[in-house]
């Protein structure tokens, strides 16, 4: 029978197994030739700046303190946070006109999306990402029912 063994380390990120006091950690580090370095909160901050020029559709981004994979993960977390707060909560503002419709069909390997009224590809992308976020939140739930959830997805409803 497999069992889970839980290990409680006093200083798990110090890589000094069995250290009971901080002085034990520093002594082991010194023995290994390691020198502790002070790190400021500013040095740990990760920022992503996104700019979109609506006149020409050009999008640019800058990242600081995060590599490419961290940036992608942080952007996904931010997208889900924005969707939860701005679209699936009681503070939801109206989406531009307040009405939008998207139909997606899959035929073999071809995906077709029909949308009305947002003719702006940025708005369409946002709507599709919002649907994806909502679907991810529903799948994360304990009682996920695909058919029931997909029918609710179209209505931007969230099961509490």
pLDDT tens digit string along 69-116?
Answer: 999 999 998 988 888 887 777 766 555 555 666 777 777 777 776 766
Higher pLDDT, 37 or 150: 37
Residue 5: the pLDDT is 58
pTM value > 0.75: no
Q: Any residues with CB less than 8 A from the CB of 155 and at least 6 apart, and which?
A: none
Tell me how far apart the terminal alpha carbons of the chain are, to the nearest angstrom. 37
Average pLDDT over residues 39-50: 92
pLDDT digits (tens, 9 = 90+) for 127-156: 778 777 777 776 666 666 666 655 655 554
Q: 3-class SS at 144?
A: coil
């Amino acid at each position: 029978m497999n069992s889970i063994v839980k290990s409680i380390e006093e200083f798990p990120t110090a890589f000094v197994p069995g250290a009971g006091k901080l002085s034990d950690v520093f002594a082991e580090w010194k023995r290994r030739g390691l020198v502790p370095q002070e790190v400021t909160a500013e040095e740990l901050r990760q920022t992503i700046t996104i700019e979109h020029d609506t006149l020409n559709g050009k999008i640019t981004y800058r990242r600081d303190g995060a590599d490419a994979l961290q940036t992608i993960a942080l952007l996904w977390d931010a997208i889900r946070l924005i969707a939860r707060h701005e679209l699936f909560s009681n503070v939801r503002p109206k989406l531009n006109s307040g009405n939008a419709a998207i139909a997606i069909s899959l035929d073999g390997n071809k995906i077709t999306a029909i949308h009305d009224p947002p003719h702006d590809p940025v708005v369409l992308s946002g709507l599709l990402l919002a649907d994806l976020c909502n679907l991810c939140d529903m799948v994360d739930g304990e009682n996920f029912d695909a058919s029931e959830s997909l029918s609710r997805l179209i209505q931007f409803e969230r099961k509490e």
